[in-house]
Amino acid sequence: MPAPAPTLGDLTPHGRIVFEGVDNSTNHDLWVISPDGGAAQRLTTEGAKDKDPALSPDGLRIAFVSDRTGEEEIYLMNVDGSGVRRLTEDLDSRRAARWSPVWSPDGTRIAFASWDDSGTKVDIFTVDADGSDLTQLTDTDDGEGGLTWSPDGDQIGYDVSWGSVSRIFVMNADGSESVLLTDDSAYSFFPAWSPEEDKIAFIMYTGGDTSVFVMGRDGSDPIKLAGHSWDPAWSPDGRQLAVVSTFNGHHEIFILDNNGDGPLWVSSLKELGLDPSDLSWGP
């Protein structure tokens, strides 16, 4: 993506963007920023690797991954960083790393991916937001991750990696009827469902470049929105997309129109020495 002058343009910002920020001391913490030019604020300071934040549909809680106890587990906290509690504690027999938490649209359940004890098998699970009712959705030898829940609650999208190939699938929210959306022509991953339900943004690596694309929820009509960009996150109203790209030699958060026009706004995280990733935009 070219390096334009930061501007709000015609953007009417609302909500907040939570992200993982890696500083010059390689600390991995969660941060929050308002897409109106406000200053970024640190939410976690545990000295652990905190990542994969996911804002709840009401914008009041954040699910995230942390290794603060030695294993990568799913945690919840309030949007101001208070009230941290561990959600997964050796659930089932899956004691290894967990990642990619995503909320159901009604805010009652969280889906996530998890290695098994051997470190060779990944499956998708859901659990109630109070830590009860663990349900295993997949039982394959594939490498699932990059979860996204459809706004109508009916489907979960995810990516599957096999060596040098990554493809995007959707399945029913109960784990049934998995359908392939992308082919093997490129490395496609990290799907993000539009609040308007009809589109899915995703990352594609092809020709030596990482780009953000948008396709129909059935995989039709993929369109490139932004080159040299990654980690797409939709605004709550679906009018904009936040992505990570490069500005003046540093990774920053860009906001684009949902047709790819922009950027309408660019963060100033270089001043804090932060490298952003894993964006989540909520109310």
Looking at residue 3, its pLDDT comes to 45
Nearest partner of 118 among 150, 93, 88, 139, judged by Cα: 93
Q: If you search the block for the tokens 């009041």, which residue do you land on?
A: 60
Return averaged pLDDT per consecutive 10 residues of the chain, 283 residues in all.
45 81 91 87 93 97 93 94 88 65 98 78 92 90 90 97 88 96 91 96 92 96 95 96 93 92 89 95 95
Query: How many other CB atoms are found less than 10 A from the CB of residue 96?
Result: 16
Distances (CA, A) of 259 to 12, 98, 130, 255: 16, 33, 38, 11
Distance CA 44, CA 150 (A): 28
Contacts of 185 (CB under 8 A, 6+ apart): 206
Type of residue at 280? S
Q: Tell me the longest C-alpha to C-alpha distance in the chain.
A: 51
The pLDDT of residue 88 is 86
- Position 119 scores a pLDDT of 66
Tokens found for residue 70: 């030695």
Give the span between the Cα atoms of 231 and 280, in whole angstroms. Answer: 9
Q: State pTM to two decimals.
A: 0.92
User: What is the pLDDT, as a whole number, of residue 174?
Assistant: 97
Adjacency order of strands within the sheet including 28-33: 41-42, 28-33, 16-22, 275-282
The Cα–Cα gap between 246 and 255 comes to 12
Task: Give the class (CATH, top level) of 16-282.
Answer: mainly beta
Identity at 137, one-letter amino acid code: L
CA distances (Å), origin 191, targets 23, 123, 199, 202, 219: 26, 17, 10, 4, 11
- pLDDT at residue 96, as a whole number: 57
**Domain residue limits, the chain:** 16-282
Q: Find the angle CA(50)-CA(175)-CA(60) to the nearest 5 degrees.
A: 40
